[in-house]
């Protein structure tokens, strides 16, 4: 398992971590197999989506904020970050990618995103490659 650190700079943001994951893949030495990216934070997630047009992640954040506003009278969690937990649960805490010939088998427009919902913070991702 390879652990990578990253820093988020905004309260909510999608941070393209594709190059960080490719770095971990290279470190693993695996040429063919399955790579898992895991986030061990309850207010952050992982997703794969379009990386060509930044409006895609902007639109995703807007929809998430609209559906899970930061302040809502029904929220009871004492830390006040219920919206972050809801968004992270929706995105999920891991994703898997096929590896062939030492390369991630992502589509032409796909990138791997760390989804921050309670930042800015110092965070970690864990990458496990099985060959």
**How confident is the prediction along the chain (131 residues), in pLDDT tens digits per residue?**
999 999 999 999 999 999 999 999 999 999 999 999 999 999 999 999 999 999 999 999 999 999 998 786 775 665 767 889 889 999 999 999 999 999 999 999 999 999 999 999 999 999 999 99
Q: Identify the residue whose tokens are 């930044």.
A: 54
Give the helix, strand, coil percentages of the chain, each rounded to 5: 25, 35, 35
Range of the domain at 25: 2-130
In whole angstroms, give the CA distance from residue 36 to residue 46.
11
What is the model's pTM? 0.93
CB atoms within 10 A of CB 47: 16
CB atoms within 10 A of CB 56: 16
pLDDT, residue 78, reads 59
Q: What is the CATH number of the domain that holds 25?
A: 2.60.120.460
Query: How many domains are there within the chain?
Result: 1
């Amino acid at each position: 398992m390879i652990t990578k650190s990253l820093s988020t700079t905004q309260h909510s943001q999608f941070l393209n971590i594709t190059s960080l994951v490719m770095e971990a893949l290279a470190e693993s030495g695996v040429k063919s197999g399955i790579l898992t990216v895991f986030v061990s934070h309850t207010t952050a997630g992982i997703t794969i989506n379009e990386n060509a047009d930044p409006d895609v992640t902007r639109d995703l954040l807007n929809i998430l904020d609209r559906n899970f506003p930061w302040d809502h009278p029904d929220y009871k969690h004492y830390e006040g970050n219920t919206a972050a937990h809801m968004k992270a649960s929706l995105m999920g805490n891991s994703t898997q990618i096929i590896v062939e010939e030492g390369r991630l088998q992502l589509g032409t427009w796909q990138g791997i995103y760390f989804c921050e919902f309670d930042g800015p913070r110092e965070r970690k991702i864990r990458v496990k490659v099985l060959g």
